[in-house]
Amino acid sequence: MTTEPSRVSLIVPAYNEQEAILPVIDEYYPYVDEIIVVDDGSSDETYMRAQSRADEKVKVYKHVQNQGKVGALRTGVSHASGNIIVFTDADCTYPASYVPEMVQILEEHKADLVLGARLHDRSNIPLFNRIGNTIFSSLAGYISGKMIQDAQTGYRAMFKDMMPMLDVAARSLEFETKMTVRAAKLGYTIVEIPIVYRERVGVSKLHPIRDGIRMFRGLISIAWNETSPLGKMILGPSIVLVIIGLLFGSYSLYERLTTYDLTNAYFPLIATFSILLGMQMFSIGLVIDYLSKKLDRIEEKVMALGNKRE
């Protein structure tokens, strides 16, 4: 893709992170070519403290009003001059020492998206978040058909020109999960490198329930939006069939348990038939969706090769 020498821009969204922002800047300083801190309308000293480190390498921007993490990341990317961008949190959780490995993987074109997967020292992720992380990563893996161990990590690297393809509609912390699933569904290569996750400095901005619900809704919407039209034509009716089967089935079961009788002897039959047919169609839909995505990717690659030759 790119032959120019790499220039690495680090994007650091920061919302009320006065305790952690300077250690984060200092830790990443030797590893990157540019650090872009985006203060997201903090009410503490985050901006002032970050500004005290501003130089030709460290650039600090400010949102007058809080826009959420995604807004801060987008502002950061829009100011980035590097061809490679790395996202990290402003809370000292992600060690900077993994940047060279992430960059190398991108430069060698072994991945389109590199994730710092929090697989070591998971005790530093609060228990509730750890459970959520496991559930959402498995769901993300299932939806995208790829094995993903940490879909939510905020530590990630990509070529800047990938950003339009991987930017997803999101307001908050569901952004990362949606981006990972989108990348996987579109057939981009994701490489996860296991990282140590340190204990957070300062107060967490994560609301497990609110952000969990958003993440779940985000996954459902991305699962549907990124499904090919042909896949949707088969998956849509198959889901309806399973729901119809479940309704007939539960009605019959309820009747059998309460009145010890069945008003309609065909209901259990309809239930079994609908569920089985629905599940068969669902599997076919998944296979068709996978194949059409693969064909799209091959077409994209052939077109890119053709453009290069011209």
Ligand X SMILES: Nc1nc2c(ncn2[C@@H]2O[C@H](COP(=O)(O)OP(=O)(O)OP(=O)(O)O)[C@@H](O)[C@H]2O)c(=O)[nH]1
Residues that bind ligand X (CB under 6 A): 13-15, 17, 40, 66, 68-69, 72, 89-91, 93, 125, 129, 154, 173, 200, 204-206
Q: Please identify, using beta-carbon distances, which residue of 91 and 226 lies nearer to ligand X.
A: 91
Nearest of 70, 58, 67, 62 to residue 22 by alpha carbon = 58
The minimum distance between CB 113 and ligand X, in angstroms, equals 18
Q: Please identify, using beta-carbon distances, which residue of 186 and 206 lies nearer to Mg ion.
A: 206
Which residues of the chain form beta strands (DSSP E)? 8-14, 34-40, 58-63, 84-87, 113-120, 156-159, 190-196
Residue 139 contact partner, candidates Mg ion, ligand X, none, CB within 5 to 8 A by sort of partner? none
Q: Which stretch binds Mg ion (CB under 5 A): 71-79, 85-93, 132-140, 227-235?
A: 85-93
Q: Which stretch binds Mg ion (CB under 5 A): 41-49, 84-92, 128-136, 300-308?
A: 84-92
Q: How far apart are CA 185 and CA 144, in angstroms?
A: 5
89: contact with Mg ion by CB under 5 A: yes
Q: Please identify, using beta-carbon distances, which residue of 34 and 40 lies nearer to ligand X.
A: 40
Give the Å distances, CA to CA, from 38 to 8, 89, 159. 17, 11, 20
Q: Please identify, using beta-carbon distances, which residue of 68 and 278 lies nearer to ligand X.
A: 68
Nearest of 196, 169, 3, 230 to residue 95 by alpha carbon = 196
Return the residue of 40, 91, 192, 289 that touches Mg ion, per CB under 5 A.
91
Residue 289 contact partner, candidates ligand X, Mg ion, none, CB within 5 to 8 A by sort of partner? none
Nearest of 286, 297, 163 to residue 227 by alpha carbon = 286
**Half-sphere exposure of 310 toward its Cβ, with a 13 Å CA cutoff?**
6
Q: Please identify, using beta-carbon distances, which residue of 53 and 232 lies nearer to ligand X.
A: 53
Nearest of 149, 143, 211 to residue 174 by alpha carbon = 211
The minimum distance between CB 182 and ligand X, in angstroms, equals 19
The minimum distance between CB 173 and Mg ion, in angstroms, equals 9
Residue 173 contact partner, candidates ligand X, Mg ion, none, CB within 5 to 8 A by sort of partner? ligand X
**How far out from the chain centre does Cα 186 lie?**
13
The minimum distance between CB 133 and ligand X, in angstroms, equals 9
By CB neighbour count within 10 A (0-12 exposed, 13-18 middle, 19+ buried), where does 252 fall?
buried
Residue 69 contact partner, candidates Mg ion, ligand X, none, CB within 5 to 8 A by sort of partner? ligand X
150: contact with Mg ion by CB under 5 A: no
User: Side by side, which strands form the sheet with 34-40?
Assistant: 58-63, 34-40, 8-14, 84-87, 156-159, 113-120, 190-196
Report the SS3 class of residue 89: coil
The minimum distance between CB 91 and Mg ion, in angstroms, equals 4
